[in-house]
Amino acid sequence: MKTHIPSQGEIVRQWHVVDAADQVLGRVASAAALILMGKHKPTYTTFLDTGDHVIVINAERIKLTGRKEQQKLYRRHSGYPGGLTEVGAAKLRATRPTKMIEHAIAGMLPKTKLGKQMYRKLKVYAGDKHPHQAQQPVALAKS
């Protein structure tokens, strides 16, 4: 018996909306990453991008558990000596609330070209409005 590998024409992509209001960051990111990879479909293949598009709304109202709001740090490096920049979770939420969710989801995707391709199907918005109504997105059930 041969394993069926779906071709590009057979892959049907849907759009899902995830409302992040009053939900825990890791749980929202985990659910979104699962959909972006396509693991919720019976046609999931490790070496193909069979996943769907994900729209995350209300990113500014995401919850962090414990003392992460005060203690969690987001680090990046410019590549120059002494170029390490650290930003706390509270400041990042105030300035760029979408970045917290994008960072969490990107960390759960494969670190390959395929992972970058999956990440491009992610759209994150701070408020409850998004410009993707024409794609008729389906609301994802809250966990």
CATH number at residue 79: 3.90.1180.10
pLDDT digits (tens, 9 = 90+) for 35-70: 999 999 999 999 999 999 999 999 999 999 999 999
- Residue 8 covered by a domain: no
Instruction: Output the pTM of the full model.
Output: 0.92
- Residue 81 covered by a domain: yes
Task: For the chain, give the number of residues.
Answer: 143
Domain that holds residue 59: 15-139
Dist. CA 30–CA 109, nearest whole Å: 10
Q: Does the pLDDT value for residue 123 go beyond 60?
A: yes
Half-sphere exposure of 99 (CA within 13 A, CB side): 14
pLDDT digits (tens, 9 = 90+) for 17-31: 999 999 999 999 999
pLDDT digits (tens, 9 = 90+) for 67-114: 999 999 999 999 999 999 999 999 999 999 999 999 999 999 999 999
- Residue 5 covered by a domain: no
Dist. CA 66–CA 70, nearest whole Å: 9
pLDDT score recorded for residue 143: 57
- Residue 1 covered by a domain: no
